[in-house]
Structure 1
Amino acid sequence: MEKVKIAILGFGNVGTGVWKILLENKKEIMKRSNYEIEVTKILVKDINKKRDIAVAPGILTNNIDDIINDESIKIVVELIGGCSEAKDYMIRAMKSKKHIVTANKLAIANWSKELFKIADTENVLFYYEASVAGGIPIIREINESLTANRIEQIVGIINGTTNYILSKMTLDGSSFDEALKEAQDKGYAEADPTSDVDGYDAVYKLAIMSSLAFGTEVDHDCIYREGIRNISAVDIEYAKKFGYTIKLLAIAKEINNKLELRVHPTLIPSTHPMANVNDVYNSIMIKGNAVGELMLYGKGAGDLPTGSAVVGDIISILRNNIKPVDLTETSCTVEFKEVKKARENESEFYIRLDFKDKEGVLGDTANIFGENNVSIVSITQDVERGDHSSLAFITHKSEEKNIRNSLNKIIQLDSVNNVESIIRIESFN
């Protein structure tokens, strides 16, 4: 059986996962790819660092040139992560006629046009399944299984850290800070959790999926973003009263040839399957005009789930006999579609006000909502806390600008102390 030599850039969590899978599933991989895979080089920062995994002498290197200049290496697996250095390494590898497999969502979200163009020019393959949802094969689903469809929408839980935190807050009554610390202790969250809890990670992933699903270039800076730092136990309890569960959703819809792209905390019906996606699991629902709704579920991160997607891409390249091919994944007709501004989007809303116990506040707020074309579905009030109370509203579908205009006036009422929460609702209608 023919042997193929590959190199891995980075030997952290995912890199070691790839190494384990290649060793443990060696026979299965050989049967499915018709190649014996040999990892001949692994790029690391410190060769002498103590590691739990034994690697044969000569494989570890801290010099990228050992990989770029080695003509026997046919595939480079980039697992360094989101930085310009990783991008430069991938470009140099492609110009040396090496195929690329990456899990780097930041590189794809920021530099996909440049990277794909170089892959096309150099006639090499560029695969990136692991960049979006770990072990869930969402890229392949869009590129292959759903090609007969016009994708109408994508709704997903695509960040395991935030899903773990919200699950702990919902199921165990933990505070945000308590749940975050537990996520960090278990290795689900970084010491600096900004990318996850403030929604950046989900934005990058949504940009990648949207560009493929809708055949357009997507600037991740055009995606509306809110994180979960301001979600409180009070909001979770109110959501339960109304029959909802709070999740951080990534939402992409095409409406009249315009794209609606947003990442934010969302109330979803507690009866919906996605409401029961807990812990670090991910779930993505895709709606095609022919197939209808499909829902994928699995681990969105971790060494072995993400490593599984990486090795799957390696096998896909080998099945193409690692020869020059027509790059269906990187070469496509791009139609430029406008991304709607957030104020133009329509949604149902959950709104919580903190107000002084004064007569007339309910009537005053209802009048202001009505004047701005916002209709109310239901209202509930919790027990009084001193001279303050909370009032929670659920609205019918409304334009965001009308919600904002209403709240700008409501906050000026003498009886209202503050607008505590504004959370969108996704009813999956």
Structure 2
Amino acid sequence: MIEYRNLRVALLGAGSVGAEVARQLLEHSDELAKRAGAGLTLVGIAVRDVDAPRTVDLPRELFTTDAESLILGSDIVIELIGGIEPARSYVLQAINSGADVITANKALLATHGPELFDAAERVGAQLYYEAAVGGAIPIIRPLRDSLAGDRVERILGIVNGTTNFILDSMHTTGSTFEDALATATELGYAEADPTADIGGYDAAQKAALLASLAFHTTVPLDSVYREGITSITKDQIASATKAGYVIKLLAICERLTDAATGENGVSARVHPALVPAQHPLAAVHGGNNAVFVHAEAAGDLMFYGAGAGGLQTSSAVLGDVVSAARRHVAGGPGVAESTHANLPILPIGHVRSRHQITLAVADLPGVLASIATVFSDHGVSVETVEQSVSTSAEDPQPTATLVIGTHEAMESDLAATVAELESSSAVSRVMSVLRVEGL
């Protein structure tokens, strides 16, 4: 057997993930070489500050601030610096030099994916990104390769560990959102600025990537409907638990049929939702992630595991490194991303979903009838109604709380229903509006 030459590997970034990738490339080089069919030589690590403290003790001579020179001398480039720039420029430089690129940068791919994939296709390079969604969970390769011969109908996933930790803490300890966020920050689950996580931005980037892969269609980030979890209250969590649900921030990607034209399309959205306690996603605790895939032939598949962490995410990065090395040994151009379907992206108004709507109303005759009329006028069928009545010393007038569960209806009709309820004289306040998923 002819031995293949050693492949030169450049690493951009030495944060928690990058440092672990470097450590394993150095410590397990012999084993990785046997799996890859070629030796893997870490030729350098590009960082902004070579003297910055690291989570792993690495040889100082590997560090450099000259990323461009490092890129141009490498066969495989691992981008783990995050953000858009200079990551985009470095990745394009690596691709145009003929190197394969491995990245965990979901923001970059969700924003500039088509540009980067087109560049890789032009020169016959390959762009790998297993670590961009779900941390250690293998979900990109199953969607891109294992299910390439199937028809994926729907993806339902918990893809952000920070928000799952917060919601799970609220559910298990009864804490407020603010207290749960503080705990998540103390334990390192949440960044100092948690906006990307709690605002749903991180999950939306991942939803765009998953939908693009699953439906062979470019799904731009700005077409992903997004809601975060900042409005979720302790009372909503308690009410959900009482009703047999758990609240999760979900990324949902699905095939749809446009009701007006009959045209097939796709939707991607991120929002908190009620999930039945018996659903597998309800049992995803702490900072873990899980992705539930429904395909026409394969049926239901679930991928579960650590959604973040330097050591855990390095597993996905190194898997891509081995794949890239094997491609070099085998020869031939990289495999282009499949966007042949080119399906239209339908807005959330075209989605059919169930809702649970909680209203505060005066406990007076005729109120329930007038509210039922609002639902009926918009073509939304009511499935369940639960009523509780309370009074307070400040307001002796009895106040009723109505929890109304709907049958499946168009999102546009449900939105119109909620808008009319908010302006109705029969309704004191719309307390909560949550979608129900997983039934």
Secondary structure of 1:91 counterpart: helix
The one-letter code sitting in structure 1 at the alignment partner of 2:283 is: N
Tell me which of 419, 424, 431 is aligned to 1:408: 419
Q: 1:337 Cα shift?
A: 1.2
Secondary structure of 1:364 counterpart: helix
Tell me which of 360, 366, 373 is aligned to 2:372: 366
Matching residue of 1:225:
226
Deviations 1:332-365 (A, max 9, x none): 3522211222222211101111234444322221
Q: Does 1:319 align with 2:326?
A: yes
Secondary structure of 1:338 counterpart: coil
Matching residue of 1:55:
58
Deviations 1:257-316 (A, max 9, x none): 211221100111100111000101111111111111111101111101211100000000
Q: 1:331 Cα shift?
A: 4.2
Q: Structure 1 pair 333/238, CA: closer, same or farther in 2 (3 Å)?
A: closer
Matching residue of 2:340:
334
Instruction: Please give the alpha-carbon distance, in whole angstroms, between the structure 2 residues aligned to 1:320 and 1:18.
Output: 20
Is this contact kept in 1: 2:23–2:58, CA < 8 A? no
Matches within 5 A, 1:36-55: 36-55=39-58
Tell me which of 5, 10, 23 is aligned to 1:7: 10
Matches within 5 A, 1:215-294: 215-256=216-257, 257-294=264-301
Instruction: Please give the alpha-carbon distance, in whole angstroms, between the structure 2 residues aligned to 1:383 and 1:306.
Output: 50
Secondary structure of 2:94 counterpart: helix
Matches within 5 A, 1:187-206: 187-206=188-207
Secondary structure of 1:195 counterpart: helix
Q: 1:184 Cα shift?
A: 1.0
The one-letter code sitting in structure 2 at the alignment partner of 1:308 is: S
Secondary structure of 1:45 counterpart: coil
Q: Structure 1 pair 383/36, CA: closer, same or farther in 2 (3 Å)?
A: farther
Q: Does 1:300 align with 2:307?
A: yes
What is the TM-score of this pair, normalised by structure 1?
0.94
* Unaligned stretches of 5+ residues in structure 1: none
Q: 1:236 Cα shift?
A: 1.3
Is this contact kept in 2: 1:124–1:324, CA < 8 A? no
Worse-superposed segment, 281-290 or 331-340: 331-340
RMSD: 1.7
The one-letter code sitting in structure 2 at the alignment partner of 1:312 is: G
Q: Structure 1 pair 126/270, CA: closer, same or farther in 2 (3 Å)?
A: same
Instruction: Please give the alpha-carbon distance, in whole angstroms, between the structure 1 residues aligned to 2:102 and 2:171.
Output: 37
Is this contact kept in 1: 2:208–2:221, CA < 8 A? yes
* Unaligned stretches of 5+ residues in structure 2: 258-263
Q: Structure 1 pair 46/383, CA: closer, same or farther in 2 (3 Å)?
A: farther
Q: 1:235 Cα shift?
A: 1.1
Matching residue of 2:260:
none
Is this contact kept in 1: 2:254–2:266, CA < 8 A? yes
Is this contact kept in 1: 2:135–2:307, CA < 8 A? yes
Aligned length: 425
Q: Structure 1 pair 88/270, CA: closer, same or farther in 2 (3 Å)?
A: same
Instruction: Please give the alpha-carbon distance, in whole angstroms, between the structure 2 residues aligned to 1:124 and 1:106.
Output: 21
Is this contact kept in 2: 1:355–1:418, CA < 8 A? yes
Matching residue of 1:378:
384
Matching residue of 2:128:
127
Worse-superposed segment, 171-180 or 56-65: 56-65
The one-letter code sitting in structure 2 at the alignment partner of 1:302 is: G
Q: 1:254 Cα shift?
A: 0.8
State the percentage of identical aligned residues: 39
The one-letter code sitting in structure 2 at the alignment partner of 1:417 is: S
Instruction: Please give the alpha-carbon distance, in whole angstroms, between the structure 1 residues aligned to 2:55 and 2:152.
Output: 44
Deviations 1:58-86 (A, max 9, x none): 2101112331342xx21110001022210
The one-letter code sitting in structure 1 at the alignment partner of 2:355 is: F
Matching residue of 1:32:
35
